[in-house]
Amino acid sequence: MSATTSVALKSCPLYIDGKPVISAGPKDVQYNPATGEAVAEVPQSTPEEVAAAVASAHKAFPAWSKTPVIQRCKVLFKYRELLEAHVDELVALITEENGKTIDEARGSFDRGLECVEFACGAPTLMMGETVDRVGTSVDGWSTRNGLGVCVGITPFNFPFMVPMWMFPMAIACGNTFVLKPSDKVPRTAVRMVELAYQAGLPAGVLNLVHGAKSTVDLLLTDPRVKAVSFVGSSSIAKYIYQTSANNGKRVQALGGAKNHSVVMPDADMKLTVAAIMGSGFGCAGERCLATSVVVAVGEVADPLVKELVRAADNLTVGAGCELKTQMGPVITHEAKKRVLSYIELGEKEGAVLARDGRKDAVSKSAGYFIGPTILDKVNPASRVATEEIFGPLLSVVRVKDMKEALAVIDRSEYGNAASVFTRSGGAAREFTQNVGAGMVGINVGVPAPVAFFSFSGWKNSFFGDLHALGKDAVHFYTEQRVVTCRWPE
Ligand code: NAD
């Protein structure tokens, strides 16, 4: 998509040592996905700028880690207040950068805020363990301590929420942080960092750099960086995992997904269709928990496909900033081309095009829109059924029973989420106990754990040991010191 560079583009500063910095690096252009217009210039940080950000975090660590945890959390309490006071501005920014509808942006804001609230519990979450008299006159106890400089590398699909999975808990635990947001949606992160400093964060505790591979590589190889949190596609997640580990860092790398919704013949049709529409087409199918494959069991297939097509026909697709919009655009022109190529592929692979979103008028506008598209009678071994598409394209696979449905899911290289729709407790139990995915929904289309649980993808959806959020996050961002102490009685 060509840019109209005559329009004044918004700038996108780095944040180093508590101050905004205009990068001296080369600039890329950011486009508004709903209009295709150029909106901002996104810098690729220079190696010197990346080194300065890490140095600033490294310098800030000793004082911050020794600041009482209650004081650290007071800053987070204030941060929460400020975020809430700026909700409309942040929601509008998320919508402009990412294309989400206002409701979706607000939902993702709320889930991000929840992570700050969870991090405010650090005084309790960081508690160690004590055993009196592990020996005569000897006591033992453990404490949890910050690691040092932690790094976060985040994807485009949740500009606000995913960074919130990382830095609030990291800094609550006494670490300092360098955030490298997606180069496709960097401006929400700038505002998040600005507000954190307004809340009273000492200089250097949270730094921000922009860029892509070369910036990330500098962070992964810097010996001052102790831990790396990554969320993005699986191939990059694997690379991050291997490179971070080779450089002696602890790492959690969350990857891509191909999520299934199994619909049993006894499912409540109205609830199921609403949930699958929300999961498959919400956020234009660009959620890591989006349903991409509907597995229809037995005789439910025909009525289910009919109802899904009817609901998709009634979905209002358009710019996220318009209140009536129910589904926005995908992120880039390239993403649109990729999704369109999968629709063609699905037809070539023998699927039946139950609804062709390419024919919707909005698909021909300047923004990166694709109308909701449904492929029926998809072969479970085909590429559309197995590869991550990340767009508003739903595949329906027809199977005869639960056993066959579980086998379809088992075959997937991914294991992020899977849902079952049924009225039967027995079927739900069979599903939850046997399904090959780490986040499971029962009559829930997007089984995103609340912040007190961990975001627990399996297989190629996660590389590492300790997941994001929940107690795993506290353990990931701390190391234990175990004290054995003798005092004569
Ligand atoms: P991406 O992998 O292209 O980019 C993620 C981050 O990595 C960005 O900050 C990007 O600048 C950086 N990056 C890109 N190429 C790199 C390279 N070669 N080396 C080092 N860093 C690089 O992902 P995306 O397109 O921004 O986001 C969508 C993907 O994220 C989907 O696959 C989705 O499933 C996944 N995702 C997963 C979860 C989860 O919880 N598992 C959550 C959200 C998104």
392 CB near ligand 1 (under 6 Å): no
Q: Which two tokens stand for residue 123?
A: 């005084």
Spatial separation of the C-alpha atoms in residues 75 and 450, rounded to whole Å = 22
Cα-to-centroid distance, 102 and ligand 1 (Å)? 23
Confidence check: pLDDT of 105 > 90:
yes
Q: Which two tokens stand for residue 156?
A: 């485009």
Q: What interhelical angle do 301-313 and 269-281 show, nearest 10?
A: 60
Report which residue type is found at 313.
D
Q: Which two tokens stand for residue 50?
A: 């990346």
- Which ligand 1 atom minimizes the distance to the CA of 232? 30
Cα-to-centroid distance, 101 and ligand 1 (Å)? 21
For atom 18 of ligand 1, the residue with the nearest CA is 213
Spatial separation of the C-alpha atoms in residues 452 and 183, rounded to whole Å = 29
390 CB near ligand 1 (under 6 Å): yes
User: Which of 399, 415, 412, 396 shows the shortest CA–CA distance to 456?
Assistant: 415
CB 128 within 8 A of CB 142: yes
Q: What interhelical angle do 47-66 and 213-221 show, nearest 10?
A: 50
Cα-to-centroid distance, 331 and ligand 1 (Å)? 13
Confidence check: pLDDT of 313 > 90:
yes
Spatial separation of the C-alpha atoms in residues 283 and 391, rounded to whole Å = 9
**Helix H or strand E encompassing 471:** helix 470-476
Spatial separation of the C-alpha atoms in residues 423 and 391, rounded to whole Å = 29
What's the whole-number mean pLDDT along residues 216-243? 98
388 CB near ligand 1 (under 6 Å): yes
Q: Which two tokens stand for residue 256?
A: 């891509």
For atom 38 of ligand 1, the residue with the nearest CA is 288
What are the pLDDT digits (tens) for 68-104? 999 999 999 999 999 999 999 999 999 999 999 999 9
The yes or no reply on domain 259-442 and CATH 3.40.50.300 is: no
The backbone torsions φ and ψ at residue 126, rounded to the nearest 5 degrees and listed phi first, read: -85, 0
Spatial separation of the C-alpha atoms in residues 285 and 356, rounded to whole Å = 15
Confidence check: pLDDT of 166 > 90:
yes
Angle at 95 (CA atoms; ends 89, 98), nearest 5 degrees = 130
233 CB near ligand 1 (under 6 Å): yes
The backbone torsions φ and ψ at residue 318, rounded to the nearest 5 degrees and listed phi first, read: 180, -165
Domain boundaries, the chain: 3-255+461-484, 259-442
Confidence check: pLDDT of 326 > 60:
yes
Confidence check: pLDDT of 2 > 50:
no
pLDDT of residue 238: 98
What are the pLDDT digits (tens) for 373-409? 999 999 999 999 999 999 999 999 999 999 999 999 9
pLDDT of residue 6: 54
For atom 28 of ligand 1, the residue with the nearest CA is 232
Residue with tokens 């929840």, as numbered in its chain: 114
Contacts of residue 8, Cβ cutoff 8 Å, sequence gap at least 6: none
Residue to substitute in 108, 216, 289, 472 for testing ligand 1 pocket (most ligand atoms within 8 angstroms of CB): 216
- Which ligand 1 atom minimizes the distance to the CA of 457? 41
Residue with tokens 């997007």, as numbered in its chain: 446
What's the whole-number mean pLDDT along residues 56-75? 98
CB 115 within 8 A of CB 448: no
User: Which of 394, 182, 403, 412 shows the shortest CA–CA distance to 307?
Assistant: 394
Q: How far separated are the first and last CA of the chain, in Å rounded?
A: 78
- Which ligand 1 atom minimizes the distance to the CA of 462? 41
Spatial separation of the C-alpha atoms in residues 188 and 100, rounded to whole Å = 13
What's the whole-number mean pLDDT along residues 310-336? 98
Confidence check: pLDDT of 1 > 50:
no
182 CB near ligand 1 (under 6 Å): yes
pLDDT of residue 70: 98
What are the pLDDT digits (tens) for 423-434? 999 999 999 999
Spatial separation of the C-alpha atoms in residues 440 and 44, rounded to whole Å = 38
Spatial separation of the C-alpha atoms in residues 310 and 30, rounded to whole Å = 35
Residue 481, classed as helix, strand or coil, is strand
pLDDT of residue 7: 65
What are the pLDDT digits (tens) for 20-45? 999 999 999 999 999 999 999 999 99
Strands (E), 202-316: 206-208, 225-231, 250-254, 259-263, 291-297
Spatial separation of the C-alpha atoms in residues 101 and 95, rounded to whole Å = 6
Q: Which two tokens stand for residue 180?
A: 């490298």
pLDDT-derived band of residue 4, with 50, 70 and 90 as boundaries? very low
What are the pLDDT digits (tens) for 235-256? 999 999 999 999 999 999 999 9
What's the whole-number mean pLDDT along residues 457-472? 98
> Mind telling me the catalytic residues?
288
Spatial separation of the C-alpha atoms in residues 116 and 90, rounded to whole Å = 15
256 CB near ligand 1 (under 6 Å): yes
Handedness of CA 49, 50, 53, 56 (dihedral sign): negative
CATH topology of domain 3-255+461-484: Aldehyde Dehydrogenase; Chain A, domain 1 (3.40.605)
- Total residue count of the chain as it appears in this document: 489
Confidence check: pLDDT of 141 > 70:
yes
pLDDT of residue 5: 46
User: Which of 363, 414, 30 shows the shortest CA–CA distance to 233?
Assistant: 414
Spatial separation of the C-alpha atoms in residues 374 and 355, rounded to whole Å = 5
* C-alpha dist (Å) from residue 190 to 27, 185, 186, 238, 391: 16, 10, 7, 27, 26
461 CB near ligand 1 (under 6 Å): yes
231 CB near ligand 1 (under 6 Å): yes
Residue 141, classed as helix, strand or coil, is strand
What's the whole-number mean pLDDT along residues 47-57? 99
- Tell me the pairing of strands 291-297 and 393-399: parallel
pLDDT of residue 489: 82
Instruction: Give burial (CB, 10 Å; 0-12/13-18/19+) of 238.
Output: middle
pLDDT of residue 3: 42
Sheet with 225-231, side-by-side order of all strands: 19-21, 14-16, 206-208, 176-180, 149-153, 225-231, 250-254, 462-464
What's the whole-number mean pLDDT along residues 127-147? 97
What are the pLDDT digits (tens) for 344-366? 999 999 999 999 999 999 999 99
